[in-house]
Amino acid sequence: MQTATSPDAPHSVRQVEIGPERDGQRIDNALVTLLKGVPKSMIYRLLRTGQVRVNGKRAKPDTRLAAGDTLRIPPVRMAEREPAKGPAAGLVSAVVEAILFEDKHFLAIDKPAGIASHGGSGISHGAIELLRAARPNEHLELVHRLDRDTSGVLVFAKTRAGLTGLQAAIREGQVTKQYLCLMVGHPRKAKFSVNAALQKSVLQGGERMVRVSEGGKPSLTFFQEMEQYPGARLMQATLGTGRTHQIRVHAAHIGHPLAGDPKYGDKDMNKAFKELGLDRLFLHASHMGFELDGRSYGFSAPLPDDLKQFLDVLAVKGNRIRRLQEKARTHLE
């Protein structure tokens, strides 16, 4: 990526040529990294007021950048801040110890819950920043993303060929992504799919919300029951498409939200699950597989200990969950 002005000149208009490492990236996410330290609310205000342009045209938050685009970034005035502190050594170690696989093109980790994929929105250091801190002399790029509370397989590219190749495979639907999740209640079938278009919106401040809408983008998720628990089912979810919050919204749409989901879940059920030890969203990226340049890649991450321990407790003490559901059904009748 080349810039016509110094990246350290926030009071001047910048013309940025988009390189292949940002091909396909959303413009709001790109601006978070290009305007380090600038609040996300200000970034969205710049987008809403048309001050950010791609090839001379106004850009929306969900505009996708392409290699070769020219990005206009307006002057941004910020109060002087103290130099940013480096990440805590414990966080860096946690990400390094989570490495599952590495070759010349890719590095895959089993991302712990609570660590974001990248910094922004009040988060100083995500997984990509932590890995870069551990390996300052290596080129690392985030290929895809997981929500902060979602654990599991997260892949980084070490080369441009790896980055652009895998991102192209993701866009073309040639990557297998599977998750383990805990659905509230008992779906009528052990194996089924949810085909419901999803519409994404960005609220003021940058919070993302997704809903089922005929005007949204086609979205498909395949669910298969893995284990039965009182008042819940452990499911494997395989993505047919890769929309934001897809599994969470599809699960809620059929009346069986994910356990511990603070945005799309059932508050009363979440409270009951929390009392049994579930402190986060029960969603884990268990497998990612693809082929690139004649080689097959497959990365798998087992269910983490905190979720396994919760399932053990639920198996023994889950009658309370079942009674709560029965009470809810009685009220509905």
Q: Which CATH architecture has domain 89-157?
A: 2-Layer Sandwich (3.30)
* 147: annotated active-site residue: yes
Gap between the Cα atoms of 285 and 274, Å rounded: 21
Q: How far is CA 254 from CA 151, 193, 333, in A?
A: 24, 10, 19
The segment(s) of the chain belonging to CATH 3.30.2350.10 are 173-332
- pLDDT tens digits for range 190-227: 999 999 999 988 776 667 889 999 999 999 999 999 99
Q: How confident is the model at residue 125 (pLDDT cuts 50, 70, 90)?
A: confident
- pLDDT tens digits for range 13-66: 889 888 766 777 889 988 987 887 788 889 999 999 999 999 999 999 989 998
The segment(s) of the chain belonging to CATH 3.10.290.10 are 7-73
Query: Backbone phi, then psi, for 209, in 5-degree steps?
Result: -130, 140
Q: Which of 62, 69, 110, 147 is catalytic?
A: 147
pLDDT at res. 5: 41
- pLDDT tens digits for range 65-80: 988 899 999 988 765 4
Over pLDDT 70: what percentage of the chain? 89
Q: What is the mean pLDDT of the chain?
A: 88
Torsion of CA 26, 52, 124, 9, to 10 degrees: 140
With tokens 């402190």, the residue in question is 279
- pLDDT tens digits for range 157-197: 999 889 999 999 999 999 999 999 999 999 999 999 999 99
Enter the DSSP assignment of 298.
E
Gap between the Cα atoms of 166 and 158, Å rounded: 12
Give the lowest-confidence range in 89-93, 118-122, 124-128: 118-122
The segment(s) of the chain belonging to CATH 3.30.70 are 89-157
Q: Which alpha helices (H) appear in the chain, and where do they start and end?
A: 27-34, 40-48, 89-97, 127-134, 160-171, 246-253, 267-275, 305-317, 319-332
With tokens 């860096």, the residue in question is 92
The DSSP code sequence of 266-296 is -HHHHHHHHHTT--S--EEEEEEEEEETTEE
- Looking at domain 7-73, its CATH superfamily turns out to be RNA-binding S4 domain (3.10.290.10)
Which residue did the predictor score with more confidence, 269 or 125?
A: 269
The residue-averaged pLDDT of 277-294 equals 96
Residue 311 neighbours by CB distance under 10 Å: 19
Question: What global pTM score does this model have?
Answer: 0.74
CATH, range 173-332: 3.30.2350.10
